[in-house]
Amino acid sequence: MTHPEEKVQDQPALRELTDDPASRKKFLKLMGGGVAGASAFSLFLAACGGGDEETAGTTATTAPAETEAAAADGDLKIVNYALTLEYLEADFYAKVIESGLFSGASLELIKVIGDHEQQHVDALLGTAKTLGEHAAKPETTFPLDSADSVLELAATVENLGAAAYLGQAGAIKNKEILAAAIAIHTVEARHAAALNILTGKSPTPDGAFAAPLSMEQVLPKVKPFIVS
C-alpha cells in the first residue's frame, strides 16, 4: 500500500490537485473559487498536457516514490530556469530605459513592465535560495537599434516567457511554487498582449488556448542574448 506522503511526492502539483479534493479546493480558492475558478483550472490543466485519460474517472498508477529531496531538486531546476529568463527580461528593460529610445507613455509602459520583471527576479531568487543554490545572473546583450525593433523584441521576449512558464507548470511538484508560477505566467501573458497590440499583432496569437514551450525549445531562443 502506498503511503499518503509517497503519493504526494511522486507526482507533479497539477496531478495532486486533480486527484486530491482537499488540495484542489484550496487551490481553487486561490484562483477565486466557484465555477470560474474550476473552469480556469480545467483549462490550465488541459493546456499543460494534464487530464485526458488520467482524469476521466480513472485512478492514475502510482510511480515509484521520489524522495522529498528529489522533488525539491526538480522544482529548483524549474525555479532557476525561470529566474534566468527573468534576469534576462529585467536586464533587457533596464537597458531599453537607458537607451533613450523611448519617451512619454511608451517609456512609462516600459518602466512598469521592467519593474514587474525585477519583482519576479526578487521573488524567484528568494524561492531558489530556500530550495538550494540559485542561478547566477548572466551578462546580457540586446540589439537596441530602434524603437520599433525594440518593441518587436520585447513582444517576442514576453510571449516566450509566458510560453515557458506554461511549459513547466505540469512538472512542478510544490503547490505553492505552482501558484507563484501561474501568477507570474499571467502577468507575462498580459505584458505580451499589450506589446502584441503595440506591434500590430493579435493579443492572443495562439487563439483561445496558449501554447506551452519546453526548456529545449526556449533556451536556444534566449542564448543569443547571453554573453558567453
What is 16-56 written as a DSSP string? HHHH-HHHHHHHHHHTT-HHHHHHHHHHHHHHTT--GGGTS
Is 61 within a domain? no
The mean predicted confidence, pLDDT, of the chain is 82
Decide which of 67 and 41 is more confident: 67
Decide which of 193 and 6 is more confident: 193
pLDDT exceeds 60 at position 71 = yes
Average pLDDT value for residue range 47-67? 47
The three-point CA angle 102-197-159 to 5° equals 90
Q: What is the CATH number of the domain that holds 159?
A: 1.20.1260.10
Q: What is the pLDDT of residues 73-114, one digit of tens each?
A: 899 999 999 999 999 999 999 999 999 999 999 999 999 999
- The answer to whether residues 117 and 149 belong to one domain is yes
Of the pLDDT bands very low, low, confident and very high (cuts 50, 70, 90), residue 67 is confident
- The answer to whether residues 139 and 37 belong to one domain is no
Is 62 within a domain? no
Average pLDDT value for residue range 17-39? 53
Is 59 within a domain? no
Please tell me the pTM assigned to this model: 0.74
Of the pLDDT bands very low, low, confident and very high (cuts 50, 70, 90), residue 15 is low
Is 87 within a domain? yes
Domain total in the chain: 2
- The answer to whether residues 39 and 98 belong to one domain is no
Q: Which domain holds residue 36?
A: 4-54
